[in-house]
Amino acid sequence: MINKKSQRILKHKRVRKKIMGSPKVLRLAVFRSNKYIYAQLVDDVSKVTVVASSDMDLPADASKKASKLNKAFEVGANLAKEATKKNIKKVIFDRGGFKYHGRVKSLAEGARKGGLNF
């Protein structure tokens, strides 16, 4: 029996066959759990995470009252800010097998607003 989690993993593997981050264009990988959201810029050639951000990195006083959508937007904006410090402008978006909807979409919009192109 195939459940939702294994379906997502199969989708992610299928996408990862085609998408690969390089030193020039990094891969923006997103993982969403029920409680948190994580994003990282990965160079798949050298297998290194260059920049990472999650909603656990946000200030505690602001994140308590914010909704999950707003937290995801802030994670994307925070990731973009850290990436621009390292002169990273262009990335490939890897949604991790999740639908481009809700928190994943909000994170992408925050990253775009912060200055990343994908």
In our burial notation (b when 16+ CB lie closer than 10 A, e otherwise), range 31-60 reads: bbeeeebbbbbbbbeeeeebbebbbeebee
| Tens digits of residue pLDDT in 63-87 | 677 899 999 999 999 999 999 999 9
Q: What percent of the chain has pLDDT over 70?
A: 97
Q: How many CB atoms lie within 10 A of CB 85?
A: 9
Ranges in the chain, pLDDT < 70: 1, 62-63
pTM over 0.85: yes
Domains in the chain, CATH or no CATH each: 4-114 (3.30.420.100)
